[in-house]
A and B are shown apart, each in its own frame.
Chain A
Amino acid sequence: DTEVTQTPKHLVMGMTNKKSLKCEQHMGHRAMYWYKQKAKKPPELMFVYSYEKLSINESVPSRFSPECPNSSLLNLHLHALQPEDSALYLCASSQAGGGRDEKLFFGSGTQLSVL
């Protein structure tokens, strides 16, 4: 199984809503990532978890709250978002060994629209 599964595929939320994005992998990977991608732009790194601990936060606003409950799951909790946060949110995982074969496997993303 080389899949990273993201749910939901599409999400529409208001600025006062609270919602969560979910990401799951069963490859035994110990690093998991959240990226944000605006239309016609490259993905931008948001967070990196390594061995269930947050290792990189790219100065992301606190209205985005990541959580890694176990080595297979990664959540992104959303609260009080702005319309400009509308984007494709991508999850990825990798072995976390930091070695030569540090390939990232990406999910298909959640397309988020904030109204």
Chain B
Amino acid sequence: DAKTTQPPSMDCAEGRAANLPCNHSTISGNEYVYWYRQIHSQGPQYIIHGLKNNETNEMASLIITEDRKSSTLILPHATLRDTAVYYCIVRVGGAGGTSYGKLTFGQGTILTVHP
């Protein structure tokens, strides 16, 4: 799986959009970008994933650049409960891939949402 680079920490004001960047310059054509978050003392929680196109769900939006070398997770209206460590992960999708079944976490970004 390709390696990811994220800023170690970010701050955001409550009610504002939080934009979390991720660099994955060595991503391969069949590797998906996944985002998970981990709130203190809980297990990681799936947020969103994508391959080429931008994606949106009830939690967040994922913007992937055209060359796929970087992406941004957007939390449109951050709340105090969004304070967590956010992990950007790239992994092979599809059965039979050599890294099938693996989800390798990087260091992540600690997002702190302030009142």
User: A interface vs B, CB < 8 Å?
Assistant: 4, 31, 33, 42-45, 48, 50, 55-56, 90, 92, 96-100, 102-109
Contacts and interface: CB of A to CB of B under 8 A. Distances in A.
Given A31-B101, A42-B87, A97 B95 contact: yes
Nearest to B44: A106
- The 9 residue pairs across chains A and B that have the minimum distance between CB atoms: A106-B43, A98-B95, A42-B105, A48-B101, A103-B46, A106-B44, A98-B100, A43-B105, A90-B43
A98 B93 contact: yes
Contacts of A108: 41-43
Given A43-B105, A45-B102, A98 B96 contact: yes
A97 B101 CA distance: 10
Contacts of A92: 43-44, 103
Query: Interface centre among B41, B87, B106, by most A CB within 10 Å?
Result: B41
B95 A99 contact: yes
Contacts of A42: 85, 87, 105-108
A100 B32 contact: yes
Query: Interface centre among A50, A98, A105, by most B CB within 10 Å?
Result: A98
A87 B49 CA distance: 28
Contacts of A90: 43-44
B45 interface: yes
B51 interface: yes
Given A42-B106, A100-B32, A56 B95 contact: no
